[in-house]
Chains A and B, each alone.
Chain A
């Protein structure tokens, strides 16, 4: 590699990291947090005995999982303005990613709730708890442990998927890379560099997942 290639690599590193710190990471965190709340609601609706409630949730989840994320993003950013709803790039991305995570994580949370033995509900009722209290204090904490690995996968996918937001003009890691690449004509270099930064972020997330699992494992046999 020539001197100037090295220089470009170093010079572009900061803009890419800046894109990650101010774009990719907050976008992923905000969307994941909102998505999880939505997912919990959807999971509980899915488990409801009222057919219309579980039907709504089932329909929503089916649509989210059955359509491409990129299409969902474009509907919100480029589609909604034609019916008079104009949302800025950043909030559009957050809305699209949250709705998407909500659909995927709902199934994870539902499965985790169902994986808690029925005897736990019965013991909770036996000590006098209401349904809501049993859910909050006995069932969800145990479901949380089970759902850490699959939800971590969802989060890691989300971090990578945020690169799609570059297509609706959000300034994040990949868009920074695209802009520098177009300017310098060093496409290979910049896209590999972007890939490397994504990879490092995902490695960090995987080890964070390991720590979290270990912490939540303190009450199960090894």
Chain B
């Protein structure tokens, strides 16, 4: 993989689509509040799944479980047929670390490290955690920053960047970890409207380059264009899923219809 190549490391051309992520019966409660109630998902290699749904329906919690930030109460997560976690009992720490290693998350509020420069933010994982040679990690980080048009910001601190620039750094930080799976939690919902386009364009490029992604988003137009599948989450279950064009134009489920109607006609 050349440093300027953004495409995922494990996707050789011609690799047949096989499930990269399989989730079965994922459950999660906070106290008495049952937030996820048996979630089933499959994402094939190189595919994009968009999660839509009302506030509080559990979309963020799904992503957090996939990244091991939240410990599910039940169900299974399988990555590439190589890593299988069963949450019937709390899985060993080693497995949770492995799960985290295979995915990388882009946060709604960026969550960049404010006391580190842009470059330091990006290499913190590769050098500090993955113990890759510093020179190599820096070269890759600079190439990635160049790709998103932020070469000249490498020594800036996050507070010196616009929201759109910070989110692009957030995406580069995720890419630099060389994950198999990219998770986006409403990556543009904290941005000023005129900055949304840059970030969505970047995510679309990543999709075209073959990254496997799960994206929580309220940008229906974006989901229609970029996602291979859309799933509508409500009350901790996946109520309806399908081809984006089909589902967004002609939803079958009553709750999906209502949700889409509210998004299209907010008042």
Interface: B109 (CB within 8 A): yes
Interface: A129 (CB within 8 A): yes
Known contacts A122-B107, A123-B113; A129 and B69 CB within 8 A of each other: no
| CB proximity to A under 8 Å, residues B190-233 | none
Minimum Cβ distance to chain B for residue A27 (Å): 33
Q: Report the number of A-B residue pairs with Cβ-Cβ less than 8 Å.
A: 62
Contacting pair B177 A128 (CB below 8 A): yes
Contacting pair B159 A221 (CB below 8 A): yes
Contacting pair B177 A127 (CB below 8 A): yes
Bound CA span A221–B173, Å: 22
Interface: A22 (CB within 8 A): no
| CB proximity to A under 8 Å, residues B156-200 | 157-159, 173-174, 177
Contact stretch, chosen from A74-82, A137-145, A148-156:
A137-145
Known contacts A128-B100, A137-B128; A142 and B67 CB within 8 A of each other: no
Contacting pair A126 B67 (CB below 8 A): yes
Write the chain B residue with the least CB distance to A142. B115
Interface: A52 (CB within 8 A): no
Interface: A49 (CB within 8 A): no
Task: Sort chain A's interface into a size bin.
Answer: 20 to 34
Secondary structure of the A side of the interface?
helix
Interface string of A90-121 (1 = CB under 8 A from B): 00000000000000000000000000010110
- Chain B hits for A120, CB < 8 A: 111, 113
Bound CA span A219–B120, Å: 13
Write the chain B residue with the least CB distance to A117. B111
Which B residues have a C-beta under 8 Å from some C-beta of A? 67-69, 97, 100-101, 104-105, 107, 109, 111-116, 124-125, 128-130, 157-159, 173-174, 177
